Amino acid sequence: MAGYIGKIEPFDDSTETWSSYVERLEQYFAVNALENEKKVPALLTLLGGKTYGLLRNLTLPDKPATKSYDDIVKLLKDHLSPKPLIVAERFRFYKRYQIQGETVNKYVAELRKFAEYCEFGNLNESLRDQFVVGLKDEQTQKKLLTVPDLSELL
């Protein structure tokens, strides 16, 4: 797509989630003012051979080009990113402790990533609590446990 701003690589599920790819793709479409009728051809061109082949199988007996942009995105989302089980995601979140040598910032970023599909009613409270529980430095942990309001912590 010569003359366009930016570059979108083919989708690779070993390095990126489908939802992340779609977010970047939609930003690419926006920055290049791509008209709606060109979104399907652009998507099919940018996907890459592996994902296009998967999409062909998912749309059989129809061709992918006969589907709407939203239908294609949903078909691939349902296949590539099935809805995770909340209890399993929360289990992973609560098992996540700071790793030896991991910075506090990296630990917080990892907790946020692990919380993505947990559907917590109050995400900030859950992040705060697990942050304190999982801290490697016991002295800092003990200090935090004496602070009445940790709402500004993360």
In tens, the pLDDT along 31-73 reads 999 999 999 999 999 999 999 999 999 999 999 999 999 999 9
Residues 120 and 138 in one domain: yes
Quick one: 96 and 55 in the same domain? Answer: no
Domain presence at residue 10 = no
Determine, yes or no, domain membership for 9: no
d(CA 52, CA 43): 9
Of the residues 80, 109, 134, which one is the last residue of a structural domain?
A: 80
Handedness of CA 38, 41, 46, 52 (dihedral sign): positive
What distance in Å separates the CA atoms of residue 116 and residue 56, rounded to the nearest whole number?
Answer: 30
pLDDT, tens digit (0-9, with 9 covering 90-100), for 137-153: 999 999 999 888 877 76
For residue 2, pLDDT beyond 90 = no
Residue 12 lies in a domain: no
Domain boundaries, position 133: 86-144
Q: Verify that 106 and 69 share a domain, yes or no.
A: no
Residue pLDDT, tens place only, 18-28: 999 999 999 99
pLDDT band at 1 (very low <50, low <70, confident <90, very high): very low
Please tell me whether residues 72 and 92 are part of one structural domain. Answer: no
3 inside domain: no
Residue with tokens 């999982």, as numbered in its chain: 134
Give the mean model confidence (pLDDT) for residues 112-131: 94
The tokens describing 125, both together, are 């409270």
The total number of structural domains that make up the chain: 2
The reply to whether 132 falls in a domain is yes
Q: Are residues 22 and 58 in the same domain?
A: yes
The domain boundary residue, chosen from 80, 109, 125: 80
- The C-alpha atoms of residue 121 and residue 66 are separated, in whole angstroms, by 40
Residue 63 falls within a domain, yes or no? yes
Amino acid at 86: I
Q: Find how far residue 147's CA is from the centre of its chain.
A: 33
Q: Round the average pLDDT of the chain to a whole number and report it.
A: 93
- To which residue do tokens 């602070």 refer? 147
Task: Note whether residue 6 is domain-resident.
Answer: no
pLDDT of residue 151: 72
